[in-house]
Amino acid sequence: MITLESVSRTYGDFTAVDHVTFTAQPGRVTGFLGPNGAGKSTTMRIVVGLTHPTTGSATVSGRRYVDLPNPGREVGVLLDASAQHAGRTGREILTIAQRFMGLPRARVEEVLDRVGLTPDESARRVRDYSLGMRQRLGLATALIGDPSVLILDEPANGLDPAGIRWMRGLLRDFADDGGTVLLSSHLLHEVEVVADDLVVIGNGRIVAQGAKSDLLASAGSMVRTTDRDVLARALDAAGIPMSHVGTDALMVQADADQVGHTAFAAGVPVLELRAADGAGLEEMFLQLTADTQRDNQPEGALA
Amino acid sequence: MTIVQQPTSLTIPMQRITSTELRKMLDTRSGFWTVASMGIVSFVTTGMVILFADHEDLTYRTFTSAIGVPMSLILPIIAILSVTAEWSQRSGLTTFALVPHRWRVIAGKLVASVVIALLASPVAFAIGALGNVAGTAIAGVDPVWDLSVANLLTITLANLLGMLVGFMLGVLVRSSPGALVAYFVYQFLLPTLALILAAQQDWFRDLQPWVDFDFATGALLEGPLSSQQWAQLGVTGLIWLVVPLAVGLRLVVRAEVK
């Protein structure tokens, strides 16, 4: 289990991570979603103690990461597959991890096999690796200590479609065996397939979190109207959250029935009204992150 | 809620960190050849001394000092790269995730550097001895053994201090190119400036032994030190090695690893 409580990190005036609170549960894959620069990587570095938070605290399995006696045995970490000494062979990088963790030497072969790196590939130096091979090697480094928690930053980058499917299967099995997986991505579709829970972050702040099924259900309805401002006010008065889409549409956090009645009561002609399923989460992701980006612009920037 | 039961793991022992860091100094092509080059260059310099030195100069001291020059240059570079690679190659992202108490990694690197310096010195002395025996035999003169055990010990200490300077610069700068530039400034530019200053200014000539670390360590190569020279070594070492190392260590522990 990974728990973050009001974690913030500022660099001068810039707030990279702003009071982030969430929990990644055992037995579940938690997708950590956000556009590039939203604060995902900083948050993950804070969890593993590479960056000190300005405020708040993060724990893994109930303890601060730095207090874990042999972290590699409990938490598998892959933050950047390219962050390796280019002059080492893949096998040597795993051997170093094996020695730090005090594992039997045979674990290196086992884990190479598990991530699908051939003996020939593992004898090559990392500078000659493709990004996909680096991701496999990074995943091998994360898995070698047989941890119960995985923290992976953009692990699907550079993997081919077969590789992505393979990794999803691996993460699914890991969670089904009771493990905790925290997996970041800036691509919704990448995590939508495998994640049980989602945490969406934009400009350092969490904009949505919960079970994927709940978020999908609450993705609501899409309504097009000739008089959007009037409908928006009516929905607002009814306390229904919504966001603007395109020139004449609203994305409403309510079902079509409720939206239809509100529009009728407000006397607004409706051009189109449908459940926002399917593309809903994508829409929500774009909207939520776009909204926070707008919110942080100076007053009058949109005028 | 299912919780995967893990065998309780013990704290990573310091000895394991040190031996792994020692391995990391040798397991890349550049690391391996840096260390190997010390041996190769030692043999080449020995050969050159045999070929070009006058017969009366063929003494153990000549051989050892000739070998000592390239070795004292290369040793600090090994220590520098051992530290800076974690940042410049970004392998620190893995290393410091596996050993989150960074000072333990740095301590492991320090001990590994000391081990290499302490091993390199006797190897150099042995190559020098071989050169002395072979060179004098070829020249048909009797070998001269003009270095005492005390000499060999102070030379070893000089090598060790040089290695620590490299280590300090690595910790302080944390970037391979930056630290190497700093090293060459430290090793060549500063002593040259001190030399010029001492030649021009009387006041500095008197002060130099107390502020010039290179001057103080140079005495180690010459022979047993007087108690005043030991004091000078201590003072200059404090200024040029201990204080910057303390600053660097503080930065390493706090700096963000990206």
Q: Is residue B119 part of a domain?
A: yes
Beta-carbon separation of A26 and B94 below 8 A: no
Instruction: Return the bridge partners of A251, or none.
Output: A222, A243
How far away is chain B from the Cα of A39, in angstroms, using its nearest Cα? 13
Q: Is residue B3 part of a domain?
A: no
Q: Is residue B2 part of a domain?
A: no
* pLDDT the model gives residue B48: 93
Q: Which amino acid is at B184?
A: F
* pLDDT the model gives residue B5: 45
CATH architecture label of A2-210: 3-Layer(aba) Sandwich (3.40)
Q: What is the pLDDT of residues A217-251, one digit of tens each?
A: 666 788 899 999 999 999 999 888 888 877 888 88
pLDDT surpassing 50 at residue A298: no
A138 neighbors A155 (Cβ within 8 angstroms)? yes
Fold of A220-276: Alpha-Beta Plaits (3.30.70)
- Domain map (residue ranges) of chain A: 2-210, 220-276
The pair of structure tokens assigned to B48 is 């050159």
Q: Which of A77, A84, A78 is nearest to A128 (CA)?
A: A84
Q: Is residue B30 part of a domain?
A: yes
Q: What is the pLDDT of residues B129-174, one digit of tens each?
A: 999 999 999 999 999 999 999 999 999 999 999 999 999 999 999 9
B141: left (phi over 0), alpha (psi -120 to 50) or beta: beta
Which of A25, A50, A52 lies nearest to residue B96, judging by beta carbons?
Answer: A50
A53 at interface of B, judged by CB pairs closer than 8 A:
no
Task: Say how far apart CA A54 and CA A63 lie, in whole Å.
Answer: 18
Q: Choose the weakest-confidence range: A246-250, B62-66, B196-200.
A: A246-250
Q: What is the pLDDT of residues A50-83, one digit of tens each?
A: 999 999 999 999 999 999 999 999 999 999 999 9
Which of A50, A85, A96 lies nearest to residue B257, judging by beta carbons?
Answer: A50
Task: Say how far apart CA A91 and CA B242 lie, in whole Å.
Answer: 38
ipTM of this complex: 0.88
Q: Is residue B63 part of a domain?
A: yes
Chain A interface, best mutation among B5, B8, B12, B25, by max A CB count within 10 A = B12
Beta-carbon separation of B31 and A26 below 8 A: no
In a 10 Å sphere around its CB, with 0-12 CB exposed, 13-18 middle and 19+ buried, how is residue B134 labelled?
middle
Q: Which of A26, A39, A30, A36 is nearest to A74 (CA)?
A: A26
**Burial annotation B8-22 (CB, 10 A radius, 16+ → b, else e):** ebeebeeebbbbbbb
Q: Given the structure tokens 């006058």, which residue do they identify? A: B54
Strand order in the sheet with A205-211: A75-78, A149-153, A180-185, A29-33, A197-202, A205-211
Whole-Å CA distances, B42 to B25, B73, B162: 20, 12, 17
State the pLDDT confidence band at A299, using cuts at 50, 70 and 90: very low
**Virtual torsion, Cα A230, A233, A234, A239, nearest 10 deg:** 160
CB < 8 Å from B in window 120-139 of A? 125
A115 neighbors A140 (Cβ within 8 angstroms)? yes
Contact residues for B133 (Cβ-Cβ < 8 A; gap 6+): B143
Q: Which helix (H) or strand (E) holds A254?
A: none
Give the residue ranges of DSSP H helices in B4-145. 14-26, 29-52, 60-88, 92-98, 102-139
- Give the residue numbers spanning the domain of B196: 14-254
* pLDDT the model gives residue A117: 96
Instruction: Return the bridge partners of A88, or none.
Output: none
Q: Is residue B118 part of a domain?
A: yes
Q: What angle do CA A32, A38, A42 make, to 5 degrees?
A: 75
* pLDDT the model gives residue A291: 58
B12 at interface of A, judged by CB pairs closer than 8 A:
yes
Q: What angle do CA B153, B108, B106 make, to 5 degrees?
A: 110
Q: How many domains does chain B have?
A: 1
